[in-house]
Structure 1
Amino acid sequence: MSHNTPPRPRTYVVWLLTLLSPGLGLVYAGRLVGGVVINLFVVLLMLFVVIAVTFWNLVLAWVALAMLLAWAMIGLLAASRADQLLAETSSESRRAFQHPLIYTLIALMTFVGPVAIVVDQSLRHLWTFTHVDNLALYPLALPGDTLFVRRVPAHIAPPRRGDLVTLVTPETGAPATLRVIAEPGEEVQMQGNTLIIGDKLVDYTPLMHEWVGQAQLNNALGLRAWVEHNHAQRYVVAISDEATPDASVPGLALGPDDYFVLADNRSHLATPEPRASLTADSRLYGPLPADHIFGRPVHIAWSSAPESGTPRFDRIGLPLH
């Protein structure tokens, strides 16, 4: 005597679908609304991460890691619940949701599509990343660092003296991160390491102890770190002990929309013949128009040693100021 027993639900399918989309396992178990809610909840969680990183200056790497852990936990709970429901739900009630096209549409409309939109719009309008491949920002940033940059055009929030800005280099169109030394309407004079803004001589003092950890100095480079006193602003710059840069800026008057920007490493001086290893600044191309500034670096998003690729976890999250 034969008995027609219903096929045993394949529980591994639940875990596979949950891996693709956190609520898809519940859909397989016959809970369409529950699966959609789980998917949209994870999307909202990602949107919260975008807001937190953009407006609260949280470190992207650690917030993203926390979100991935939360995502994994939600998926684990959803898959466990779906696994239980398989034993309680009849095959007839699940049959309506067991077509691959149904899973594809639900995943695309409630998870993959919204996540792609959030990531795309964040990178288009809110964030970008720039990679450091030279010593222009030494000692604040090192080769191998990747900077997290908030997109803030100068016409929306004009940068102030001492701010780091990410810009499009006028002559090459390449992105670069430099420091604002003088603001619109000011006059700049520079000869070697002597800098005069308006009628004030910019002063230098030895690096204070509390800055050393941030700067991560390398004595082998032959560069000495100093604190530059530019009006009321203070920031660290690097000056060579051996050579003075052959740069002269005689009485440059900035226009109403112009900035004077320099590399923190003052011995890092590009030449009129562009080289990939050097970043040009206002000593080469003069005033920087405000419309060339498109962002402000916030922190180091990732760092790895250029030679070996070994991650430098101690540098991730260091603020840039």
Structure 2
Amino acid sequence: MKAFLRDNKGFLAFLLLFGVFRTAVADWNPIPSSSMRPNLLEGDVVFVNRLAYNVKVPLTDVVLARTGEPRRGDVVTFTSPEDGTRLIKRLIALPGDRVEMRNERLVINGVESDYLLQEAAQELAAGTTLQARRIAETVDGHQHRIQVLPQLVVPRDFGPVIVPQDSYLMLGDNRDMSRDSRYIGFVPRHRLIGRAERILVSADYLGNWMPRTERFGMSLR
């Protein structure tokens, strides 16, 4: 064992530093589901800045220092308060916000968000499509695209609720196919992993595995 450690100490040091880098500085996150369509697709791999909000003890949720404040509209990775799985959603409401949703329309602190409708089709599986309604949603001056599927029977209303201190309300951009704060509750700050900033690479793994080069390097802000 000693001989192995001596002969491979350079490689082992690299693995250690690489592990610290991935768990404390920067990471990448594959997108496994449709919950963030139309902005993130299954097969995208996003770059996550782990220092955007906190410095943590590697492999834990223990916060050593705060490095920045989460902002409305950020695409955030976090560990679910429900079961500890890693999720990626959009930060919609900040601590102290009063939030409600009425027929898919958000109202934050008494101000209804703006919506511009656009029709599209979403491929769910090979040979199967559902008609999707893609919408430009503007929340407190921050615009992003969302998607709803009018054919599905899903909850379209909640609240009003008040976001607790040091917690955030997260929603998937694919509003009718996302397990987010409507189901798992508010996300405490210490569970935030980082801010997703851009798509590194992308491949159509639901289809022919061809790379989607037009998505390489695409900014999420």
TM range (shorter): 0.7 to 0.9
Look up the match of 2:28: 129
Identity over aligned pairs, percent: 26
1:120 offset after TM fit, Å? 2.5
CA gap of 1:141–1:189, structure 2 versus 1, over 3 A, is same
1:218 offset after TM fit, Å? 4.4
1:310 to 205, 210, 218: 210
Cα displacement string for residues 264-289 of structure 1 (whole angstroms, at most 9, x for unaligned residues): 011114xxxxxxxxxx2111122221
| 1:197 correspondence with 2:97 | no
| 1:187 correspondence with 2:86 | no
1:125 offset after TM fit, Å? 1.2
1:295 offset after TM fit, Å? 0.5
Identify, as 1 or 2, the structure richer in helix: 1
Cα displacement string for residues 17-75 of structure 1 (whole angstroms, at most 9, x for unaligned residues): xxxxxxxxxxxxxxxxxxxxxxxxxxxxxxxxxxxxxxxxxxxxxxxxxxxxxxxxxxx
| 1:138 correspondence with 2:18 | no
CA gap of 1:300–1:314, structure 2 versus 1, over 3 A, is same
> 2:197, 2:130 → 1: CA distance?
26
Structure with the greater alpha carbon radius of gyration: 1
Look up the match of 1:289: 188
> 1:292, 1:252 → 2: CA distance?
20
| 1:266 correspondence with 2:165 | no
1:114 offset after TM fit, Å? 5.3
Look up the match of 1:27: none
Identify, as 1 or 2, the structure richer in strand: 2
| 1:257 correspondence with 2:166 | yes
Q: Which runs of 5+ in 2 are unaligned?
A: 55-65, 124-128
Look up the match of 2:63: none
Give me the CA root mean square deviation: 2.5
Look up the match of 2:126: none
> 2:185, 2:156 → 1: CA distance?
12
1:113 offset after TM fit, Å? 5.1
Q: Which runs of 5+ in 1 are unaligned?
A: 1-100, 208-215, 270-279
Q: Count how many residue pairs are aligned between Structure 1 and Structure 2.
A: 198
> 2:81, 2:200 → 1: CA distance?
26
1:221 offset after TM fit, Å? 3.9
What TM-score comes out, normalization by structure 2 length? 0.79
- Secondary structure class of the residue paired with 1:149: strand
What TM-score comes out, normalization by structure 1 length? 0.56
Question: Structure 2: which amino acid aligns with 1:176?
Answer: L
1:246 to 155, 158, 180: 155
> 1:292, 1:130 → 2: CA distance?
16
- Secondary structure class of the residue paired with 2:148: strand
CA gap of 1:246–1:315, structure 2 versus 1, over 3 A, is same
Cα displacement string for residues 53-107 of structure 1 (whole angstroms, at most 9, x for unaligned residues): xxxxxxxxxxxxxxxxxxxxxxxxxxxxxxxxxxxxxxxxxxxxxxxx9xx86x8
Cα displacement string for residues 146-198 of structure 1 (whole angstroms, at most 9, x for unaligned residues): 22211134543221111111011111211111011111011111133021111
Compare relative contact order (CA 8 Å, sep 6+) and give the higher one, 1 or 2.
2
CA gap of 1:192–1:286, structure 2 versus 1, over 3 A, is farther
1:227 to 125, 136, 152: 136
- Secondary structure class of the residue paired with 2:169: strand
